[in-house]
Structure 1
């Protein structure tokens, strides 16, 4: 089908992230919003989080990758979206858990290899909208950076597809206040580097109506949300401030577009997208 065809595809959003739980923090409410609007929402997860840190004292898990896969499937159900698609790379880990010698660890894989997988997925699903990490990978995790690069490349290399390719590419965007909160929790981030100005937001989604879905999705990632996790170590005041920020709004910047942007900021991710009329 030509990109100029009058045929209308089912509105589809493809979100691409690195680990189970990435989706819940920054885009969970948005995914639920569009699923409730009738959009086909597909989450592609690059790894199964095999090198994650179990944050529940005393918990032992025989196969952490399998456990986290099940947690992600439960989180997707909580968000009212389809079961996840896995790209079958390995979690690179961080700090003492970094898997330098694992050839399938995402940090050791060429972004071009991941791009090939994503191009095939885009050709299959024919999404109008792609969504992934910002250029800093949220907080600089190497796997996040790899997925940012691969997804961006896949957007630019799929415009030749018969359906015309994705019309929009969006990145998650963190306000300066959010970066300051994360920095105070031990991530050691410069808020002026990892956070962005409000004028950078192309879309700000009010997701407060889906707070219960997002909370349930976060809770589904039980191995990552225990007492020794970043959120588990917060004071009641810190947690309340974090929840107010996370559960109220989600922000996105523009990574690429094949359709005109007539007004800025946009009303939603499908604003001006062919076939996306009335979704925002």
Structure 2
């Protein structure tokens, strides 16, 4: 079986869209690891709840334990870098964290946000840049993992109710679309609702209604037309000299 490492900046990023794919990957026996860079303490939801940042961080960390149990994640690591402050950090520190987790798990596929970050949140943009830089550095140095770098994204909206601040990728950049089965969507909804502190946001934006019937991904340095139906299909070999994927 294969291994995947998802890297996101905040608690709930894994559930606001890609979660049916995680559920499907675990259901079919693959390892799924999740690395979250912050505890999400800066959210305005803490003001509604009357929580300090420390209180909110603790609450969201506990909620993530429920997500990990619901999805049966192979591992969950939640770091404590400042929510909303990743752009102010030395990016080499974050790259070292990502690289260490890649070395620990040797995933076939690493997944993070696309260059536009979907919502445009600065932490999403930093996550994209840091993960891509870490993977490219590993390839330059001849590492054999990961074999693929994927960016979770949205396809052009068929749903007029999608929040207007969300950005999708053009169809020409979408290289993989994972079909959603009802059982995986249900598991994803159960995981999403572990975030009790975010219930008003979940009810307002209905994030799993924005993805349609497939979870979409861009694949770095790959082009697939028609799109693949699994992140693990046609995994590329790595070119020994360039450290980049060779043609599938």
Name the TM tier (shorter chain): 0.7 to 0.9
Deviations 1:226-268 (A, max 9, x none): 2xx2x4346xxxx5xx6444373210011246xxx78642231
| Aligned positions, number | 234
Deviation at 1:132, TM superposition (A): 0.4
Deviation at 1:180, TM superposition (A): 5.9
1:206 to 170, 179, 183: 179
Matched, 1:253 2:233: no
SS at structure 2 position matched to 1:266: coil
Matched, 1:24 2:15: yes
Matches of 1:83 and 1:165, distance apart in 2: 18
SS at structure 2 position matched to 1:136: coil
Which runs of 5 or more residues in structure 1 are unaligned?
1-9, 93-104, 276-280
Map of 2:245 onto structure 1:
none
2:199 to 216, 225, 240: 225
2:38 to 23, 31, 47: 47
Deviation at 1:198, TM superposition (A): 2.6
Deviation at 1:272, TM superposition (A): 1.6
1:73 to 65, 77, 82: 65
Deviation at 1:274, TM superposition (A): 7.1
Map of 1:106 onto structure 2:
86
TM-score normalised by L of structure 2: 0.84
Map of 1:87 onto structure 2:
79
Matches of 2:190 and 2:224, distance apart in 1: 36
Retained in 1: the 8 A contact 2:175–2:225? no
Change (3 A) 1:160 1:11: farther
Map of 1:125 onto structure 2:
105
User: Which deviates the most, 158-167 or 120-129?
Assistant: 158-167
Structure whose alpha-carbon radius of gyration is higher:
1
Deviations 1:59-91 (A, max 9, x none): 344511011011111112222213421232110
Matches of 2:114 and 2:219, distance apart in 1: 10
